[in-house]
Amino acid sequence: MHIYEGVLSAAPYGREILAVGWGATAVGTAIGLRRIDIEQIPRVAVLSAAFFVVSSIHIPLGVTAEHLTLTGLMGVILGWAAFPAVLAGLLLQAAIFGLGGPIVLGVNTLIMAGPAVVCGILFRSPLGAATRTAVAFWGFAAGAAAVALAGAGNGLCLFLAGKQFELFGAIMAALHLPLAVAEGLVTASVMVLVRQVRPDLLGALGPAGRVELSDG
């Protein structure tokens, strides 16, 4: 999902896309930082580190790189704090491994953190039910949706960047579908594990903020 440095800078409408990416990332990160309290800092740090590790294992495809993200999980547990968590992970990847880069950092953050926040809003309440079956189902949905939306965002950025990227952008959006299934399975497994060892992380997200466990 990384768009490589220099790809958008040289594209006809690349500068506009870069500006929108940085603007949206700045707003999302500001909201996320304002909503982080002291108790959430370790949680944000752990998930940011997990994101850094899994997304560092990537497959280069043309002008992008494909990888797992755990952004569905991040969105459900962190909400808007997924923005600073993803930004920190991508910044370290750019500095250490050269993935992405400083100019395209805003766009890459928006592509991955934006869907995380959307999935957090959509799936937080269903996951609050906390039955095993429900957690697995909605966890899969959150993980798959996050990657599918990120793939659509990645493809849209390339499609809008210029005619030379239109076909490739459409192909990249389609190629994210099998990755979305894999991400959904991983997220579902992690959600079930979280339910067993830290049910409060899911139960606290329910409408009444209660931990309700059952074997359903």
- How big is the CA angle at 179 (ends 175 and 182), to the nearest 5 degrees? 155
Listed in sequence order, the DSSP H helices in 2-104 are 14-35, 41-56, 71-78, 82-96
pLDDT one-digit tens code per residue, 173-205: 787 888 899 999 999 999 999 888 887 777 544
What region does 130 belong to: left with phi over 0, alpha with psi -120 to 50, or beta?
left
Check pLDDT > 70 for residue 129: no
pTM listed for this prediction: 0.86
Determine the 3-state secondary structure of 108 from DSSP: helix
Nearest to 115 by CA among 157, 82, 158: 82
Contact 159, 7 (CB under 8 A): no
Check pLDDT > 60 for residue 100: yes
Q: How confident is the model at residue 209 (pLDDT cuts 50, 70, 90)?
A: very low
Supply the DSSP string of 6-29, one letter for each residue: TTTTTSTTHHHHHHHHHHHHHHHH
Radius of gyration of the chain (CA): 17
Q: Please give the structure tokens belonging to residue 145.
A: 């949706």
CATH number of 2-203: 1.10.1760.20
In Å, what is the CA distance from 3 to each residue of 6, 45, 114, 123, 133?
A: 9, 24, 15, 27, 36
Quote the pLDDT of residue 214: 39
Which sign, positive or negative, has the C-alpha torsion 66, 117, 192, 44? positive
Q: Where are the beta strands (DSSP E) in 88-142?
A: none
